[in-house]
Structure 1
Amino acid sequence: MTTTENLLQTLQTEIEQTSYGESPAELYEPIRYIMALGGKRFRPLLTLLAASLYTDDWKNALKPAIAVEVFHNFTLMHDDIMDKAPLRRGKPTVHEKWNSNTAILSGDVMLIRAYDFLIDIKKEDLRNVLLRFNQTAAEVCEGQQLDMNFETRWDVTEDEYLNMIRLKTSVLLGFALELGGIIGGADSEATKLLYEAGESMGIGFQLKDDLLDVYGDPEKFGKLVGGDIIANKKTFLLIEALTKAEGKTGQELNDWISAETFDKEEKVAAVRGIYDTLGIRALTEQKISDYFAKGIDCLERLSVDPERKKSLLQFVHQLVEREQ
């Protein structure tokens, strides 16, 4: 049985050895830079894990898995421009290190290279994979637009938010698993289950991100805890709090949201206290548990030797329990 560590090591080596182009250097160096920043690499890893459910020749999924990671980092490069983000994984963002025009153009090339890494898929599967990839890519853009729309709205509902993160985050996880299944030779019923598993777990993953931003250990979380609170970002926690807060609690929450000058630590502590009063943490944890359980159920329903499922299921449980 192939271990997750083996897959990840092989994937990392392949990414390090991947060439995106050489000249002009100003176009390709930002791509090498953002790809070298690391990250969890769990999207391409899911592709390899899904392929290994059905075949021992999982290395056939390496290039397509890298396509998933390159596309993901392309979206991050462009998102950082839109968000005016100064840092990505603790290092200057591409538009800060170079400039916005370079980041836009380098990101465009990354999208093109993602297609290059998909080309070697078997001819009989290629059309379906490209159609699914294009659908996924469009949905990620739709999710990003909805996220930007929400910045100026205070009536965002739970369902609207869950749909936004499904599009912006989850569909790519679904595609990553589906892609691995297709390459491994899974039938259409199995690839549908893989997609549904990834989509559900992706929502759980983003909700866990929302939760960790408020309740995470700063030493483990890897970034400022409370950043979403400081920025009044519409997260699942804030949306639920706005729905449930009444009277004095509701007024206090609205006061912190509308305050233009404030002590950051004081605001984070105060809003976290409001969440505690309203039971928002437990509500969010239950929602996370529900989505991951749905995803795991889809994986359990796959007609695959249980031994082959072990690595994938163990990895999913790590995602559930992560603290960063």
Structure 2
Amino acid sequence: MSFPEIRPRRLRRTPVIRALARETSIEPRHLVLPMFVREGLAEPSPISSMPGVVQHTMDSLRRAVADAADAGVGGVMLFGVPAVRDARGSGADDPEGILNVATRGLVDEVGDAIVVQTDLCLDEFTDHGHCGVLASDGSVDNDATLERYVAMALAQARAGSHLLGLSGMMDGQVAAIRRALDAEGFTDTLLLGYAAKYASAFYGPFREAVDSQLQGDRRTYQLDPGNRREGLREALIDEAEGADIVMVKPAMGFLDVLREVRDAVQVPVWAYQISGEYAMIEAAAANGWIDRRAAVLESLLSIRRAGADAVLTYWATEAARWLGE
């Protein structure tokens, strides 16, 4: 018997055929830009380990968010860097704290054009750099931390945040915050559960970006990088507790987890292309080892292909403009 020749390359023959046959695409609306705003700055401060990324002043933050919205970026995720820190992270729920002030200003100016999102974690605000309140033995007290998260959530919701990014990895954080928001009438405020957040070696540049005071590590609450099933379990728990979206973080080293989470949950799944991933590509491109634009877009496409409905990336505005060309 003779069979027709099977030639898969027919689908790759020309650019228009490749475009028509492409299984995965990425659009500006799929991108979220993480941004840092620091109290007391007179001008934007470059972050040395993240070329092209800065700690913003309030004025430069407004301009950058407007630029992101103009490029079609779907959202911005705000991180506040306060001038003063203490053991309980008091600045996190202070209505006049840097993150809440920045949120109010942006929602008033661009809230109809882009989703204004806020990081909900204590690490930027504590003098010990951990994501929660410390017990007398130096460990992170899960339930005492939930009380602080609730206060922080209410402050951010009152400031007008559209979406709260629950990144602290405390047990029960989604349920506690959802109950508190609903009781105060903030039933429309979205919750993004950082469900599968791993204790990664690639967070280093971020710690410069927020001037982290951390000594030690976060391995008692962030996930062990060797655990795939545990990441899936955490995502299912967050979905059951009321998360509107769940997150896998980091992205590129955990694409297998991302795929499994996407297949298991019914809510949107996002992924965070973290600071170390950004820094690696920027460093390789600066040395002429890779094509920067091609590598950036390929990295984003791979995260989308693995199942991410949206990607947090420091290239969001730049990539959105490339995609719009």
Name whichever structure is richer in helix by fraction: 1
The answer to which structure has the higher strand fraction is 2
